[in-house]
Chains A and B, each alone.
Chain A
């Protein structure tokens, strides 16, 4: 048994809003040498491409925990809010 985030949609349910609840200004991330979001996010929503010096953020599998909101030291978010009512993660039993 293993948590494999490539398969997260098999175990955790989502109702994804096309309009993202988090918007990241990726140019800010280029000036960040810490990038704690990449290892702290429990849903692996943030990936850093070292070769192209580019941060990629995907909100699809976001568990809405707030980790990125707390660890970001650069205020890189132009929007950080919870999804519109009824959208986002839907826990069944946790």
Chain B
């Protein structure tokens, strides 16, 4: 077996395959390593892939080529309690024509497609290949050691795109040994079988239109949120739960998800559905301040491995940032080969490219958001306030009505406290 390459990419997810594709198209000899039996086998996410501008440069007709389920035209935000929910729905005709703003996808299909595109461009895909260690010589990464037989693959550049826990980055000394539980969310998801026509009717969709729904509340006080997405003929229902918030409680992720499925407004949407698959994964939610070192001598870190994730409550971004970072790591490698310099100072190009792109600009802009979301009131009291307000506004019970201002002040005092409310509005304003 060939053991020397121009570059080694660890992980054939969106970041790794984008990097491999970029480098292979420029004529570099690339090994793309994947621990699964096929790319995507180990990968899981909520279900909505945002528009991948980084890939549209390579595939101008991306939506004709990539395997997706539905394109998102309708975005819903819901505040939910155990018995009620208040939603804001944005249905957008402009999102119904290409370039689509987002898609629901199945990762085992999508990731495999992208990896095969890298192969078509000339990359060598090695599946069932778990990396055990990085090889370092004189403080410089020069390859990786494989778990199956301890054999070695060598290249002047290694791109660590091995996902949220990135043992490759850890072994190269780029990430800290311990993760803060507050910076990680566990995502659990149920895939639910449902005929296309029923999904169309229940969610108000036609053709291949899709809907996404982000839900705040009804998580038993755990900091986190729930999502419900429409695939072609299935639904994705899942929760992201902050581990720091789960610790010390007795409830489990699957109990919370089961409880959620029984909430009356959710139960109506899921009625008749059948559980197809249950999955779980971590989400790096610490943002800009929780990122590892992004580059070192002979190594760069991309995608989830680099903690490139933005969670604002309204948007959950990851794969778009991953593909962009993969493309840029690929470009930095191409440049390094041109200069024949793979040192840390040469690979700093990668960080510069990331800073010039929306990736680090957005992560920086939202660097206060993780802290803002570390507020228990968001997950219980605010949904109760919103739903409680609506309940009193609509309620006809033979009692004289209060003015809207009086009602708002009274409810806010009851559920949140005015001081807290002002502090939260201020921190929300600064964070978003």
Contact = CB atoms under 8 A, between A and B. Distances in A.
Contacts of A34: 247-248
B130 A85 contact: yes
B274 A1 contact: yes
Contacts, number: 143
A93 B181 contact: no
Contact of A3 (B147, B148, B190): B190
Q: Is the interface of B mostly helix, strand, loop or mixed?
A: mixed
Interface residues of B, number: 57
Interface residues of A, number: 37
Interface in B275-321: 275-282
A8 B278 CA distance: 8
Contacts of B2: none
B128 A86 contact: yes
A67 interface: yes
Nearest to B167: A81
Interface in B227-242: 234, 236
A91 B279 contact: yes
Contacts of B130: 81-85
B147 A84 contact: yes
B257 interface: yes
Given A1-B274, A44-B252, A66-B164, A94 B279 contact: yes
B282 A3 contact: no
Contacts of A44: 252, 254
A48 B190 CA distance: 26
Contacts of B251: 39
Given A82-B130, A91-B277, A93-B191, A71 B258 contact: no
A39 B40 CA distance: 27
A36 B42 contact: no
Contacts of A63: 279-281
Interface in B371-409: none
A93 B234 contact: yes
Interface in B156-202: 164-165, 167, 179, 181, 184, 186, 188-192
A70 B179 contact: yes
Given A11-B276, A85-B35, A90-B36, A5 B254 contact: yes
A3 B237 CA distance: 12
Contacts of A81: 130, 132, 147, 167
Most buried by B among A39, A42, A65, A94: A94
Interface in B24-63: 35-37, 40-44
Contacts of A42: 186, 188, 252-254, 280
Given A86-B37, A89-B42, A94-B106, A11 B278 contact: yes
Nearest to B270: A1
B243 A93 contact: no
Contacts of A3: 190, 254, 257-258, 275, 278
A88 B42 contact: yes
Contacts of B128: 84-86
Contacts of A8: 278
Q: Which 7 A-B pairs have the closest CB atoms?
A: A85-B128, A86-B128, A42-B280, A94-B279, A36-B247, A63-B280, A42-B253
Interface of A: 1-3, 5, 8, 11-12, 15, 34, 36, 39-44, 63-67, 69-71, 81-86, 88-94
Given A12-B278, A42-B252, A85-B128, 18 more contacts: A2-B261, A11-B277, A11-B278, A12-B279, A39-B251, A40-B186, A40-B247, A42-B254, A43-B280, A44-B252, A70-B282, A71-B243, A81-B147, A82-B167, A86-B128, A91-B43, A93-B277, A94-B189
